[in-house]
Every structure is written in structure tokens, then in C-alpha cells.
């Protein structure tokens, strides 16, 4: 794998930088820092990407993908993160979109893919249940066939941004008389369907990211099922590999590392800077070395995907190490914030909230505690690695 930039790559990097200057301004960044603006900020950003033709780089070209090389994908992610522009909301563009591209019917592709690209539909993921999180195959939400419909009963939990969602891609049990993995189907559910109740779950950072979603005799057309009945586990594994690769967040961690270096170099107490503390500097250096190694692993995965392969089991390594590095960077930010990071700054106005480094460090730290759990816990990733990579 050649990671040196060609003249074409350098020209592409200049094009990306020129686009970002116009598409992600200081005003856009200020809007993104205001709590509660997650959806409108992302919708507006993704529509700008769509207008440029860059919103779905991982999709096949025939379905609206960019056809970028691994190096070009790397360049875009690096430059995007460097200016603080957000990644796309993953559920539609990085998760269900590729599944529909690979396994959906022609009718499903024609209907859903343009709407996902243009962000006309906001998606959420219906996987985890009480008692079926890390052991996802134990899920019990049931779909019973009734003519041309399924009738769905059960509940999903930890459903991110379900309160905003127009559609959910959901794993449901369609056969209870076989091995658990062999009785699951993958179905697309309109969130306005009668019988759906969304209950908020407020997390330790004080935000409303998560929800419980209840299904009470919800009718869903059979035509909304992806692929074959009882084959959903196969499609789910494909989706999880894409999800775990995205969760690694290498480009964003590089930006956070650079920000920490700048902040740690500032004099704070009696003319001293945190970066002059040998113990702090050692922690920072260790993270930088590990992040560099992770970046090369990501490049190998991108190169493999460009050759027509899936993300593979390397996605588990990326997710495992990537989220660990994210948490260690969040811990450094808390150390830099000092006692300011321990205070909930309720006296700040909505416009000011999020502008305070201490408040941002605290909220980032609290939210980041879940990073080693969502998308498959550390223990799950280690088991996958042991089985498929080490052959244990």
C-alpha cells in the first residue's frame, strides 16, 4: 500500500480545503456548539455535502458514491476533522445505506437511497434490547407474519436519536424454533406507524441522546424486509463491520490530540504549562504513538475495501483501540480543565453553553464513557479478534 500523495491526491486535497472554507464557516461551527442543535446542524451540513456529491463516499458509484481511492477518503476525513466539521450522522449514510446497496431489492434501492443521500429521512438503529445488548442474538422483539404484513411486538433500548427519526432499521425475531442467529430478520420500520412509543433516556452528561422504543402490534409491510426472512443476522454483521470502522474516529482523535497540545502548551499556574509536566507529556506521547499505529490500520482497511472486500475483522481492532484512545484523550481534556471540568455550568445561557472548555470537557468525558460499549463492547471485540484473527 503506497501512502505517498500523488499530484492528483494533492490537487484533491486542495479541492477539499477550498470546499471546507465555504461549507464549514465559523458561523456553522458556532451553531454546532449549541446543545440541542445536533439534527439541524447535521441535516444542513449533509445537504451541503450532497450538493457537492460527497455525502456517501463509501457507497458504490452507481448508487451515488464518489469512487474515491482509499487515499482520497483518508484526505477528506483528515481535512474535515482538522477544521472541526462533523462526520455525517452514521445511521443512514454509513450503516443502513450500504446494507440496502448490497442486499436491498431494486424497489428499496430506488426509494430509500436517494432519500438517505439527501437527508430527507433521519434514521435510527433498533438492535439492542434489555438482555440482548452484547448478546445481540438473544433479542426477543417478535415479528409475526399476517398476510402482506408483519405484526411487531417488543422493545428496543439505547436507541440513539429515535426521537428525531423518520425510519428505523430493526432486527426482529421471525423464527423461535431454530438457532438464535438463524431466526432473525432485518426490517425497515416507519417511525410514524401506529403502536410505536418512544421514551427518553437521559444520560450522565445531561443530554437526551438515547431512548427506549416500544412496539405494540405495529404493522410493517413485508416489502420493507431486507433480503430473505431469517437471514437478518448476515446483514446485521455486515452493518456492524461498517459501524465499528466508523466508530474508531481516527481523524477526529487526531484533531483532539492537536487541540490538547495547543491547550497544554499554555501557561496556567505560576507560569507553568501542563505540557512541561513529565507525567502528562508521557501520557500524551503514548497516545500519539498508538493513534499513529491505529491510523495505519485504518488505511489498510480502506485499501482492502477499495479492492472490493468488506471491512473484515480489522473493524473490531479499529473499534476496540479507537474508542480506548478517545477515552484517554477525554481524560486528558478533563485534566486540562481542572476544577472547571467538574462543574455543571447551569448559569450559562443557551448561546454560551458549549463555548466553555471546562463544560465541553465534562460533557465529552461523560458521553465518552459509553464508547467502549456501543457498537459492540470491548469484550465482544476481543472475542471476535481471538476467534477470527488469532484463531483461538
- CA-to-CA distance for 46 and 44, rounded, in angstroms? 6
Instruction: State the Cα–Cα distance between residues 380 and 295, nearest whole angstrom.
Output: 22
Is 243 annotated as catalytic? yes
- Count of all residues that appear for the chain in the document: 392
Q: Which residues pair with 152 in a beta bridge?
A: 143, 218
For residues 88 and 55, the answer to whether their CB atoms sit within 8 Å is yes
Q: How far apart are the first and last CA of the chain?
A: 28
Catalytic choice (79, 129, 243, 295): 243
Q: Could you tell me which residues are beta bridge partners of residue 330?
A: none
The CA distance from 145 to 151, in Å, is: 6
- Give catalytic residues, as residue numbers: 243
Amino acid at each position: 500500500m503506497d501512502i505517498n500523495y500523488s499530484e492528483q491526491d494533492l490537487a484533491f486535497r486542495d479541492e477539499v480545503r477550498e470546499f471546507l472554507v465555504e461549507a464549514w464557516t465559523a458561523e456553522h461551527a458556532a451553531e454546532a456548539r449549541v446543545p440541542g442543535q445536533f439534527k439541524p446542524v447535521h441535516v444542513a451540513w449533509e445537504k451541503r455535502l450532497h450538493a457537492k456529491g460527497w455525502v456517501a463516499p463509501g457507497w458504490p458509484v452507481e448508487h451515488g458514491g464518489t469512487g474515491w481511492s482509499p487515499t482520497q477518503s483518508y484526505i477528506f476525513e483528515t481535512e474535515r476533522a482538522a477544521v472541526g466539521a462533523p462526520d455525517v450522522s452514521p445511521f443512514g449514510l454509513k450503516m443502513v445505506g450500504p446494507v440496502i446497496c448490497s442486499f436491498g431489492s431494486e424497489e428499496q434501492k430506488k426509494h430509500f437511497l436517494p432519500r438517505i443521500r439527501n437527508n430527507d429521512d433521519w434514521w435510527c438503529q433498533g438492535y439492542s434490547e434489555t438482555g440482548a445488548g452484547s448478546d445481540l442474538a438473544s433479542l426477543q422483539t417478535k415479528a409475526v407474519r399476517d398476510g402482506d404484513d408483519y405484526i411487531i411486538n417488543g422493545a428496543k433500548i439505547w436507541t440513539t436519536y429515535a426521537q428525531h427519526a423518520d425510519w428505523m432499521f430493526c432486527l426482529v425475531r421471525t423464527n423461535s424454533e431454530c438457532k438464535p442467529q438463524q431466526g432473525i430478520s432485518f426490517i425497515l420500520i416507519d417511525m410514524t406507524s401506529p403502536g410505536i412509543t418512544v421514551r427518553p433516556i437521559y444520560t450522565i452528561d445531561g443530554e437526551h441522546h438515547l431512548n427506549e422504543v416500544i412496539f405494540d402490534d405495529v404493522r410493517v409491510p413485508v416489502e420493507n424486509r431486507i433480503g430473505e426472512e431469517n437471514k437478518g443476522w448476515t446483514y446485521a454483521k455486515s452493518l456492524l463491520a461498517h459501524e465499528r470502522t466508523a466508530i474508531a474516529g481516527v481523524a477526529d482523535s487526531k484533531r483532539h490530540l492537536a487541540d490538547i497540545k495547543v491547550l497544554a502548551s499554555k501557561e496556567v499556574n505560576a507560569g507553568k504549562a501542563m505540557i512541561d509536566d513529565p507525567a502528562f507529556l508521557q501520557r500524551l506521547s503514548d497516545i500519539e504513538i498508538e493513534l499513529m499505529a491505529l491510523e495505519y490500520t485504518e488505511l489498510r482497511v480502506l485499501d482492502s475495501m477499495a479492492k472490493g472486500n468488506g471491512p473484515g475483522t480489522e473493524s473490531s481492532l479499529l473499534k476496540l483501540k479507537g474508542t480506548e484512545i478517545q477515552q484517554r484523550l477525554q481524560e486528558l481534556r478533563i485534566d486540562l480543565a481542572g476544577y472547571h471540568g467538574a462543574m455543571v455550568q447551569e448559569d450559562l445561557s443557551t448561546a454560551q453553553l458549549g463555548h466553555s472548555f471546562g463544560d465541553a470537557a465534562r460533557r465529552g468525558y461523560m458521553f465518552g464513557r459509553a464508547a467502549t460499549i456501543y457498537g459492540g463492547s470491548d469484550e465482544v471485540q476481543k472475542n471476535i479478534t481471538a476467534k477470527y484473527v488469532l484463531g483461538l
